[in-house]
């Protein structure tokens, strides 16, 4: 492997867009008030990225925290309706702070509020991607947040935290780099507070050993922890996007990253990554049902790069239409892959366990040889 300084330089040189995620604990004070000096510092660095010819996008937490501070609340609300209302109140302060800071450097703030359902539909996914691309051309920088005032986790419309949202935003863009700004310096091989722990500079692959290093730390203001950040990094790198977890309270953190300096932890993408429609299938699309497959189908799909045939399906869960994204599972419920179904669930019930030649005898037609073609299938265990 080349020297770490060279690796970082190569990563920076190849990045045409930079998605920056900043958490609540970085841009708010201990009392929950927006840290406007921190936002101004970050905004100036975003502008310098834009001035360099790259497209910066900021995924910013802080709406609930800002609202709580604005209302003088000492404790984050726990009721869903209260959280939504506080987020709506705080969102105005949050975007105003970015607008004021960016305008000093000649750029405008473009507010983009998303829910998970905006990206689950293929058409919505493409629309969001196109809109984000145009924002930069118009002299603005996108400030993105989950639409907390309408996103309801109980109704499966919440990203869960902005780390995951940031990884999905990075997946919308070609040659993007994801930067997650945290209240810790990066990933340590032990508790960050321990003097015996070492900060990892470069992580070539996010495997179970790396995931086990996560030290989740939630408090009254923040929903994410290191476990969430590692999952976001895993998603982003699987799509070909290098990811850096870095100290958000370093006043020059983005400048240092873009200069190729050793700061934070760099996670490298694999040589082969998920592209195009498979990228949407793997992380953004909503799962509408499940297909349970036998050992032979598992081997064909996961080891031999094959399509999923009806003969290998032994069970089905849910009701879905043709073209839906479904989970492909083993008999114990472990997800093997995800893919676009060529048949609705009503027809799969009739043909599962059958050879492809018998499909037309049962359905009266056979538009597809397979239930899920390998080109529309993404393994979950890459």
Question: Widest CA span of the chain, in angstroms?
Answer: 70
More confident residue, 98 or 191: 98
Closest CA to 62 of 36, 80, 82: 36
Mean pLDDT of 232-238: 89
β partners of residue 60:
22
Instruction: Using the predicted structure, report yes or no on whether residue 30 has a pLDDT greater than 60.
Output: yes
CATH superfamily for domain 286-379: PUA domain (2.30.130.10)
The answer to whether domain 4-277 has CATH 3.20.20.140 is: no
More confident residue, 225 or 353: 353
Per-residue pLDDT, 274: 64
Domain ranges of the chain: 4-277, 286-379
Closest CA to 55 of 129, 141, 119, 120: 141
Mean pLDDT of 86-108: 91
Q: What is the four-CA torsion angle of 304, 307, 311, 313, rounded to 10 degrees? A: 100
Report the mean per-residue pLDDT for the chain: 85
Task: Map residue 145 onto helix, strand or coil.
Answer: strand
Per-residue pLDDT, 1: 52
Instruction: Using the predicted structure, report yes or no on whether residue 140 has a pLDDT greater than 90.
Output: yes
317: pLDDT confidence band, cut at 50, 70 and 90? Answer: very high
Per-residue pLDDT, 4: 67
Instruction: Using the predicted structure, report yes or no on whether residue 269 has a pLDDT greater than 90.
Output: no
295: pLDDT confidence band, cut at 50, 70 and 90? Answer: very high
Per-residue pLDDT, 155: 29
pLDDT tens per residue, range 298-311: 999 988 889 999 99
Closest CA to 173 of 138, 129, 224: 129
339: left (phi over 0), alpha (psi -120 to 50) or beta: beta
Instruction: Using the predicted structure, report yes or no on whether residue 152 has a pLDDT greater than 60.
Output: no
pLDDT tens per residue, range 326-363: 999 999 999 999 988 999 999 999 999 999 999 999 99
Per-residue pLDDT, 122: 67
Instruction: Using the predicted structure, report yes or no on whether residue 148 has a pLDDT greater than 60.
Output: no
Per-residue pLDDT, 218: 44
Per-residue pLDDT, 216: 45
Per-residue pLDDT, 154: 33
Per-residue pLDDT, 297: 94
Per-residue pLDDT, 20: 97
Instruction: Using the predicted structure, report yes or no on whether residue 150 has a pLDDT greater than 60.
Output: no
Q: What is the pTM of this model?
A: 0.73
Mean pLDDT of 56-82: 83
168: part of which helix (H) or strand (E)? helix 162-172
217: pLDDT confidence band, cut at 50, 70 and 90? Answer: very low
Per-residue pLDDT, 158: 46
Q: What angle do CA 350, 356, 358 make, to 5 degrees?
A: 60
Per-residue pLDDT, 215: 55
Instruction: Using the predicted structure, report yes or no on whether residue 165 has a pLDDT greater than 70.
Output: yes
Q: Tokens for 140?
A: 């603005």
Instruction: Using the predicted structure, report yes or no on whether residue 222 has a pLDDT greater than 60.
Output: no
15 neighbors 242 (Cβ within 8 angstroms): yes
Q: Tokens for 66?
A: 């800002």
Q: Where are the beta strands (DSSP E) in the chain?
A: 17-22, 55-60, 108-114, 140-146, 176-182, 202-203, 243-247, 265-267, 287-293, 313-317, 325-329, 335-340, 377-379
Backbone angles phi, psi at 293, to 5 degrees: -120, 160
């Amino acid at each position: 492997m080349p020297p770490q300084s060279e690796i970082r330089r190569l990563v920076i040189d190849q990045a045409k867009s930079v998605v920056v995620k900043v958490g609540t604990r970085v841009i708010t004070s201990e009392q929950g008030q927006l840290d406007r000096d921190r936002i101004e510092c970050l905004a100036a660095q975003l502008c310098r990225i834009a001035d360099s010819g790259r497209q910066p996008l900021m995924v910013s937490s802080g709406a609930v925290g800002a609202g709580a501070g604005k209302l003088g609340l000492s404790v984050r609300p726990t009721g869903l309706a209260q959280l939504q209302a506080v987020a709506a109140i705080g969102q105005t302060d949050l975007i105003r702070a970015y607008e004021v800071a960016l305008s000093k450097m000649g750029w405008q703030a473009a507010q983009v509020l998303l829910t998970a359902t905006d990206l689950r539909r293929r058409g919505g996914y493409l629309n969001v991607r196109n809109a984000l691309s145009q924002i930069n051309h118009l002299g603005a920088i996108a400030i993105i947040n989950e639409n907390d005032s309408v996103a309801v986790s109980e109704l499966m419309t919440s990203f869960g935290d902005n780390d995951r949202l940031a990884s999905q935003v990075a997946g919308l863009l070609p040659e993007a780099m994801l930067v997650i700004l945290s209240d810790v310096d990066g990933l340590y091989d032990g508790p960050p507070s321990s003097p015996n722990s070492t900060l990892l500079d470069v992580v070539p692959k996010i495997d179970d050993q790396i995931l086990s290093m996560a030290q989740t730390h939630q408090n009254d203001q923040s929903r994410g922890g290191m476990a969430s950040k590692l999952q976001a990094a895993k998603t982003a790198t699987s799509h070909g996007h290098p990811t850096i977890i870095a100290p958000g309270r370093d006043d020059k953190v983005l400048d240092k990253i873009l200069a190729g300096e050793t700061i934070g932890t760099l996670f490298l993408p694999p040589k082969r990554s998920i592209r195009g429609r498979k990228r949407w299938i793997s992380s953004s699309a909503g799962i509408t049902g499940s297909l349970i497959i036998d050992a032979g189908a598992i081997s064909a799909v996961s080891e031999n790069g094959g399509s999923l045939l009806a003969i290998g399906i032994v069970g089905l869960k849910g009701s879905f239409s043709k073209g839906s994204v479904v989970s492909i599972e083993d008999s114990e419920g472990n997800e093997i892959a995800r893919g676009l179904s060529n048949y609705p669930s009503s027809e799969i019930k009739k043909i599962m366990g059958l050879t492809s030649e018998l499909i037309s005898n049962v359905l009266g037609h056979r538009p597809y040889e397979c239930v899920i073609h390998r080109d529309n299938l993404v393994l979950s265990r890459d």
